Amino acid sequence: METAENAEDPPICDGASPKDIITEILTRESPKARPSAGQWQESFFQALAMAPIAALAARIAGVSLRRAMEERNADAAFARRWDDTVEAGIEEIEAAAYLSAVHGERKPVFHHGMQIAWTVDYAHAMRSMLLKARRPEVFGNKKGSKDNGMKPMTLEEFRKRVEEARRM
C-alpha cells in the first residue's frame, strides 16, 4: 500500500502559475537535454504533442513563441505539422474528458497517511458538455429556452419599473 510520503513525484508548489505547473509536468515527462539552436523543432513538436499550447512548447524547446511563429509562417510543412499535432492533442483531451465523464477517475483514500480504499470521481459537468456537443438536437439549448419572456432593459427602464412597483 502506498503512503502519501513515498509518492513518485513530489507535489507541485501551490503558489505556482498554471504555466509553470504545466511546464514542470512536461519537463518531468520529457527528460531530453535542451536542443541546439538548429534542432529545436523536434523538441517543440514533442512538447506540443503532450500539451497543445504553443507558448509552452516553445518555452520547453528553448525558443521564443515569436521564433516558432516565424517558422510557422515561413514553412508550410512546419505549419501543417503544427496544426496536425495540436489537433491530435485536442483529440487526446477529448478522450480524457470522455473517460473521466463516463468511467470516472479512480482516486486513493488515505487515513493517517495510509491508503485504505479507492473512490471513483465522475466529471458530471463534462457528461453534460459532451452530450450537448454530440447530441445538440436532444441535449443542446432549445430555441427560446433562455427566453423567459423578459427582454434586457436599460438602467433607466429598470429604475422606472422599480418605482412603479413601489407605488403599487
* pLDDT tens-digit map of 29-66: 554 555 555 689 999 998 898 888 999 999 989 999 99
What residue spans define the domains of the chain?
A: 9-100, 105-134
What's the predicted TM-score (pTM) here?
A: 0.55
Cell numbers standing for residue 14: 501551490
Cell numbers standing for residue 8: 513518485
Q: Which residues contact 145 (CB under 8 A, 6 or more apart)?
A: none
Q: Which residues contact 61 (CB under 8 A, 6 or more apart)?
A: 35, 40, 41, 43, 44, 47, 68
Q: Which residues contact 2 (CB under 8 A, 6 or more apart)?
A: 108, 115
Cell numbers standing for residue 1: 500500500
Local confidence band at 114 (pLDDT 50, 70, 90 cut-offs): very high
Dist CA 141 CA 162 (whole Å): 31
Torsion of the alpha carbons at 98, 104, 106 and 107, rounded to the nearest 10 = 100
Strands 114-121 and 105-111: antiparallel
Q: How many CA atoms does the CB half-sphere of 52 hold within 13 Å?
A: 14
Scanning the structure block, which residue is given the C-alpha cell 419572456?
A: 149
Dist CA 66 CA 90 (whole Å): 22
Q: State percent of the chain over pLDDT 90.
A: 30
pLDDT exceeds 60 at position 154: yes
Beta bridge partners of 118: 108
CB 62 within 8 A of CB 34: yes
Name which residue leads in pLDDT, 157 or 10: 157
CA angle 80, 84, 90 (to 5 degrees): 145
CA dist list (Å): 152 to 38, 77, 158, 161, 166: 57, 49, 9, 13, 21
